[in-house]
């Protein structure tokens, strides 16, 4: 880390010491000397970064950013040869420029919290925040010579973005000055009025402080407590804020007069507090223990108010020297960055800690607890075409964005652009992306938006809005859509003979209409239907004579079958119909292999039953959750490059094994038929897989091969 005792705001003093500085900083100073930059601003920024304890890479990146801004060709020529860490720090500063531009474009009543969040989302290295705060303070100090409109805009940016960030980081040395200068530019009359009131009473106040420090010093020495005492400066903006918050006049503020006690240990803090309260009566309700209960940004100190000499109120702050250093520099006081340390897990944890720290919270205690855990960024901050920031959960799509903007925008959405490029509605934007929704005049959501496997909607809020739209539509249309979904699910699972009249009870519903409407609105998924069918384990009663399905042998654990009224018998799944858990099944007692288990609608079983009806017995699925069963599925669609690869990828991602596969292409029509024999766990896994497969481009149908 580089410290300097330079003339504030002048780069020449730094350049004169280049031979004693780390090479990365000396190199940046040399390039600045060769190319004109704002020397006063750059020197001021370096001074502030040194005060914050930032390392040479951080300081050098502040100079390189200025070079890139004023001499882009020089930056382009040198950037590739610079250390990757330094390039990343400069890139973070350049990304922040987008936030400043958005702030300038926002409407007067627009909020700033979204912009602060966007800033943190696009900056990947926490040190960039220190550079931004230091540069802004340097610019504010020099803005007195700017035109009025530029000074006002700079003041608003500071008030809305930089001062709140410095506050949340606890960097008081920057916070107070940023707030005071911004207040001076934005409300000059009020600023001058309070400054005049302070000046008018300055001599009396200074005499009172000297008297108070003398009495307090004597009391501390008598008690044997070693301490450093000083008057505490009051800042004009904080005085005005307290007057506004408590509706007080200037003369009613008790903490215009304040002193600070610095001691060596925490024990001395409480000893000094006792001495203060013994020396002067304290004001009830005006004591805060931020040592035992630190603020969420790490601030620690004892605050009390007393009736001091001459019967005047006096604020007293008590802290250790370490606490004072940490309080003045905030987060920066705790961190020391190593060269090339960006990959350090501890460093990354501190970045996450700072980001959580900067998020607004009402409950400081809750926040403090959260800071002890590992924190990850789980939000994205995207922009509307007007530059307003929209905060969405990670994984949200552009369709989620449309519903976030307005329900009608979502209903009428038919496309989207991200940064001017057309994207599908399933596209997930990143922080900083500008999203534009393309709409039609007619509100007409699609039912497949509700399917989680299609990936259109990530947030429950958006799905609820789509369901509400369909719920308001014609009841008959919902019934028809639900019936179509149910029939499609039964067909693709090869379950044509399920008694759907029994399904509502399995879902704890009163009528079939409720089930169908639930399916239509996405409140019940086809996968849930598959799971309930499996759990019901009810054998079918009639044995229709239908063609046998194509099947392959299966891996089977005999404990998966329960035989009614009989003890343990050898069982085997029939190869002719390949039953799966949840299929209605019956058993046939063979002469040599025990009980052969068939699907209840198996044609082979029907022939055996006609020949030997007494050997047909009732069986049901037992508890075999961990079994694997073979099943054949068929996909129909239109051929394209990479189709087979995409299908295999979906199956693999579902953790399903492929046992065999074959496909046929019909060149004249371009149609393709693919069959896969898979090892699946149960109906629910199969149903979910079929959903994902049919969502692939060019796949028209995906179903289980079975009866019918």
Mean pLDDT throughout 235-256?
A: 70
The H or E element that residue 34 is part of is helix 23-34
Residue 205: name the closest of 120, 295, 89, 312 by CA.
312
pLDDT winner (highest mean) among 10-14, 140-144, 471-475, 511-515: 140-144
Q: What percent of the chain has pLDDT over 90?
A: 23
pLDDT at 365: 36
Mean pLDDT throughout 520-533?
A: 73
pLDDT at 708: 37
Mean pLDDT throughout 194-223?
A: 81
- CB proximity list for 32: less than 8 A, separation 6 or greater: 11, 15, 39, 42, 63, 66, 67
- Mind listing the pLDDT tens digit for each residue in 273-286? 999 999 999 888 78
Strand pairing class (595-599; 585-589): antiparallel
Mean pLDDT throughout 18-34?
A: 89
Cβ burial, residue 416 (10 Å; 0-12/13-18/19+)? buried
- Mind listing the pLDDT tens digit for each residue in 74-124? 999 998 999 988 998 998 888 888 777 777 766 555 556 666 666 665 666
> In Å, how far are 316, 433, 567, 579, 610 from 592, measured between CA atoms?
96, 69, 17, 20, 20
pLDDT at 252: 61
The band of 418, judged by pLDDT with boundaries at 50, 70 and 90, is very high
Is the whole model's pTM more than 0.85, yes or no? no
The band of 633, judged by pLDDT with boundaries at 50, 70 and 90, is very high
- Mind listing the pLDDT tens digit for each residue in 354-409? 544 444 444 333 333 332 222 234 567 788 887 777 878 888 999 999 999 999 99
Ranges 337-346, 397-406, 663-672: which has the least confidence:
337-346
């Amino acid at each position: 880390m580089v410290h300097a005792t330079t003339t504030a705001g002048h780069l020449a003093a730094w350049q004169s010491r280049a031979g004693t500085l780390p090479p990365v900083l000396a190199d940046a100073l040399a390039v600045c000397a060769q190319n004109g930059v704002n020397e006063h601003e750059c020197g001021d920024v370096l001074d502030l970064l040194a005060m914050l304890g930032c390392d040479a890479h951080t300081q050098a990146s502040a100079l390189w950013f200025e070079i890139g801004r004023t001499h882009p060709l020089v930056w382009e020529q040198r950037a590739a040869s610079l250390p990757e860490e330094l390039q990343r720090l400069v890139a973070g500063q350049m990304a922040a420029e987008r936030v400043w531009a958005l702030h300038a474009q926002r409407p007067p009543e627009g909020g700033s919290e979204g912009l602060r969040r966007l800033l943190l989302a696009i900056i990947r290295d926490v040190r960039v925040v220190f550079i931004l705060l230091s540069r802004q303070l340097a610019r504010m100090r020099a803005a007195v010579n700017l035109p009025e409109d530029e000074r006002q805009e700079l003041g608003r940016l500071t008030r809305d973005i930089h001062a709140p960030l410095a506050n949340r980081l606890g960097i008081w040395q920057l916070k107070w000055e940023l707030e005071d200068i911004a207040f001076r530019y934005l409300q000059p009359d009020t600023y001058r009025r309070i400054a005049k009131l302070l000046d008018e009473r300055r001599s009396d106040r200074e005499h009172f402080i000297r008297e108070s420090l003398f009495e307090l010093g004597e009391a501390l020495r008598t008690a044997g407590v070693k301490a450093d005492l000083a008057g505490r400066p009051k800042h004009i903006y904080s005085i005005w804020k307290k007057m506004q918050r408590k509706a007080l006049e200037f003369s009613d503020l008790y903490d215009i007069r304040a002193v600070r006690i610095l001691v060596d240990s925490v024990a001395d803090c409480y000893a000094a507090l006792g001495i203060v309260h013994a020396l002067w009566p304290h004001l009830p309700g005006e004591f805060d223990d931020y040592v035992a209960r630190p603020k969420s940004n790490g601030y620690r100190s004892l605050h009390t108010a007393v009736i001091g000499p001459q019967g005047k109120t006096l604020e007293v702050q008590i802290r250790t020297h370490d606490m004072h250093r940490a309080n003045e520099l905030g987060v920066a006081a705790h961190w020391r960055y190593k060269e090339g340390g960006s990959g350090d897990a501890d460093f990354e944890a501190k970045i996450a800690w700072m980001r959580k720290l900067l998020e607004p919270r009402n409950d400081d205690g809750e926040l403090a607890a959260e800071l002890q855990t590992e924190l990850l960024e789980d939000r994205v901050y995207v922009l509307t075409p007007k530059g307003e920031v929209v905060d969405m959960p990670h994984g949200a799509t552009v369709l989620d964005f449309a519903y976030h903007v307005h329900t009608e925008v979502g209903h009428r959405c038919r496309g989207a652009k991200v940064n001017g490029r057309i994207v599908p509605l399933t596209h997930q934007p990143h922080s900083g992306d500008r999203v534009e929704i393309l709409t039609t005049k007619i509100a007409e959501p699609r039912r497949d938006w509700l399917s989680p496997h299609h990936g259109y909607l990530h947030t429950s809020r958006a799905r609820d809005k789509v369901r509400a739209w369909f719920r308001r539509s014609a009841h008959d249309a919902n019934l028809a859509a639900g019936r179509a979904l149910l029939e499609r699910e039964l067909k693709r699972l090869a379950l044509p003979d399920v008694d759907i009249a029994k399904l509502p009870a399995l879902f704890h519903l009163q009528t079939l209409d409720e089930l169908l409407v639930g399916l239509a609105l996405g409140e019940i998924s086809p996968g849930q239907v598959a799971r309930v069918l499996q759990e019901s384990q009810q054998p079918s009663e009639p044995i229709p004579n239908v063609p046998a399905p194509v099947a392959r042998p299966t891996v089977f654990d005999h404990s998966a079958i329960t035989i009614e009224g009989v003890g343990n018998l050898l069982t085997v799944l029939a190869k002719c119909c390949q039953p799966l858990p949840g299929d209605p099944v019956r058993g046939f007692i063979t002469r040599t292999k025990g009980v052969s288990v068939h699907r209840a609608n198996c044609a082979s079983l029907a022939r055996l039953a006609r020949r030997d009806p007494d050997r047909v017995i009732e069986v049901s699925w037992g508890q075999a959750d961990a079994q694997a069963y073979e099943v054949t599925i068929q996909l129909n669609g239109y051929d394209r490059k990479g189709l087979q690869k995409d299908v295999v990828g979906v199956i693999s991602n579902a953790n399903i094994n492929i046992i065999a596969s074959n496909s046929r292409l019909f060149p004249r029509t371009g149609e393709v038929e693919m069959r896969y024999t898979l090892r699946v766990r149960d109906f629910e896994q199969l149903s979910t897989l079929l959903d994902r497969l049919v969502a692939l481009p060019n796949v028209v149908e995906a179903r289980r091969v079975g009866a019918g």
